[in-house]
Structure 1
């Protein structure tokens, strides 16, 4: 009996030791903003809303920080600072973080990084490397842009414009897809459109500036009916111009921007909040996708146009028509171009092969 009692005591003591040895990770998530602010109603805000919702649902410490400048040095200094202050998960939305994450991933092997819209590489692009503590998320923005361009022309718009923010890959792909979608619809639906090369421009920033409103107003006054603006906070500047001129409209970007202005007829969306929540959930569940680049597309419902009743403001283009063309993008019947060369070939096969000047504006060299 004494032996049995001794074994029971030893078993209980062993369980206590095991329990004491268990460690629950105290997560601390910090998001660093890309160029722009946390209230840009676009890329930064969409990502932050995903981080915030996930953290609140799981009672996890979370915060954000805006680097002092859009430079490698400033981004790396910001990473150093937030890690020193206890961050063990760092979310960085934006292509401009690529070189900083390349360096930080080996400097902080115990910190998890989620890089959106980029892959870590050296400043000279000679070496790309994604360590096990990094997950990259890339979206096929060209598909979202294509759907926006197709819908615009199918809805009856005939004079189009495109304003991008900084000429980074995501912004380039939005524009390439938009041009492809517009001309594809014009060809398929036997419509004539005007999309002049002078109405395709990169603004150089993502800020809500008066000069962007002035530029957009000049385009509208010259006959442009609809501007797709892939430029973060600068979208609000274009919306202001549309609001001041009767019968002018805007296509928003990244998130559903219908709430920003009645002139937003649709938005070329990326499901940023969903994507970042999925990867944060994978991390805490022990299913971290470290060392990988995840590609989000129409096929996995990660890009497209908003279909909520309050956001669907097309005048004649129906949701049934949208689902038809979306299905063709999803199943690969329509392969949307991503580069200038691919756009040239696409237009030759499906649209207007003479739009050379416009094609050259999609990506400057």
Structure 2
């Protein structure tokens, strides 16, 4: 039955793609080239390959492994942000010879759910997601490696560093309140609390808001601007292009107003970015590809990469700290790595349910 369903789906997809495949964008480093096509592929989530976020971080890992091992590689950009467009673009990569396809982000979950049975000989690495049929029940076949990250730890490090740097008026501006974004925020306020206790600080203020989307908007910039004007010193921008709005507001606000980036090192985006709360996207893609070629591809599994495997962190080499040192960072990272700090991460609860004695969270817009 499974084989029959795969054949039916493949036939239907082949019919639909004839008229629209040419509309999909293709691009990327073509590697060494081969008559058999491109062995490694990445599908972007419609955004560009230099988005300073998931696409870029994942591509850097794929490109590094491919170049080190002389493997042909390419990225593909879907024509639109729909499950069908993602599936059609995956088919383009398969037809071009892909053996491993990297899909960065939860938007790929339904498409990978179908692709994993349509293309049983192709392996998939999906970041921040797992295959499901729209019901959020994980179905992970042996050719899929699902990777998540401990956002609460990454957020904790950001909040801890901000307070250690001397900031007491903080902001958290998330995009949509999806679990990953929520965990970043929860970790952020707890990291601030932990640092405040160490330093004997009695009062930390955190303005807390979800914009409802992942786009740069005038509304998000206006909100960030009002926070800076009212005394907020640094805002953790955790929502894709929402960060662009926060950076613009910080730049307009002038000296002494900063931003904490998210997912990848965003120090190159603006002088106002003091550090970034990172998922080690590049490393996890690189390691997944290495496992595939070593014959140990962790298919059928969903893992959460945390500090114990250096799966999250801050880019200290590019951070603009003046007081928070590498020694400080190494000390707190070691504690997290050794699981000595209990970080609340239950996304079913509200941020106000977190036990905080010093940090006062002001939830905006609820």
TM-score between both structures, scaled by the size of structure 1? 0.82
1:298, distance to aligned residue in structure 2 (A): 0.6
Decide whether the 8 Å contact of 2:40 with 2:71 is kept in 1: yes
Partner of 1:133: 143
1:317, distance to aligned residue in structure 2 (A): 2.0
Distance 1:341 1:185 in 2: 25
What stretches of structure 2 of length at least 5 have no aligned partner? Answer: 1-35
Verify: 1:257 aligned to 2:266, yes or no.
yes
Distance 2:138 2:270 in 1: 41
Distance 2:80 2:186 in 1: 28
Decide whether the 8 Å contact of 1:41 with 1:232 is kept in 2: no
The structure-2 alpha-carbon separation of the partners of 1:342 and 1:147, relative to structure 1 and needing over 3 Å to count, comes to farther
Partner of 2:323: 316
The structure-2 alpha-carbon separation of the partners of 1:37 and 1:144, relative to structure 1 and needing over 3 Å to count, comes to same
Partner deviation per Cα, 1:272-307 (whole Å, 9 max, x = no partner): 111101111111121211111232111111211112
1:115, distance to aligned residue in structure 2 (A): 0.7
Partner of 1:189: 199
The structure-2 alpha-carbon separation of the partners of 1:36 and 1:203, relative to structure 1 and needing over 3 Å to count, comes to farther
Distance 1:141 1:274 in 2: 16
Partner of 1:89: 100
Partner of 1:292: 301
Decide whether the 8 Å contact of 2:189 with 2:359 is kept in 1: no
The structure-2 alpha-carbon separation of the partners of 1:27 and 1:84, relative to structure 1 and needing over 3 Å to count, comes to closer
Written as runs of structure 1 = structure 2, the 5 A alignment for 1:42-53 is 42-53=53-64
Decide whether the 8 Å contact of 1:165 with 1:203 is kept in 2: yes
Kindly report the root-mean-square deviation, in angstroms, between the aligned alpha carbons of the 2 structures: 2.5
Verify: 1:232 aligned to 2:240, yes or no.
yes
Partner of 2:342: 335
Task: Compare 58-67 and 270-279 and name the one that shifted more.
Answer: 58-67
The structure-2 alpha-carbon separation of the partners of 1:236 and 1:344, relative to structure 1 and needing over 3 Å to count, comes to closer
Distance 1:327 1:342 in 2: 28
Decide whether the 8 Å contact of 2:172 with 2:209 is kept in 1: yes
The structure-2 alpha-carbon separation of the partners of 1:183 and 1:341, relative to structure 1 and needing over 3 Å to count, comes to farther
The structure-2 alpha-carbon separation of the partners of 1:182 and 1:343, relative to structure 1 and needing over 3 Å to count, comes to farther
Distance 1:313 1:54 in 2: 30
1:81, distance to aligned residue in structure 2 (A): 2.8
More helix by share: 1
Partner deviation per Cα, 1:308-361 (whole Å, 9 max, x = no partner): 1xx23223222222222212111111022222456769832x535975x64x98
- SS of residue in 2 equivalent to 1:260: coil
Decide whether the 8 Å contact of 2:265 with 2:278 is kept in 1: yes
Decide whether the 8 Å contact of 2:38 with 2:96 is kept in 1: no
Decide whether the 8 Å contact of 2:211 with 2:220 is kept in 1: no
1:98, distance to aligned residue in structure 2 (A): 1.3
Distance 1:86 1:249 in 2: 45
Distance 1:211 1:38 in 2: 26
Partner of 2:118: 107
Partner deviation per Cα, 1:163-199 (whole Å, 9 max, x = no partner): 2233333222211211221223234433211113xx4
Task: Compare 85-94 and 144-153 and name the one that shifted more.
Answer: 85-94
Partner of 2:222: 214
Larger radius of gyration: 1
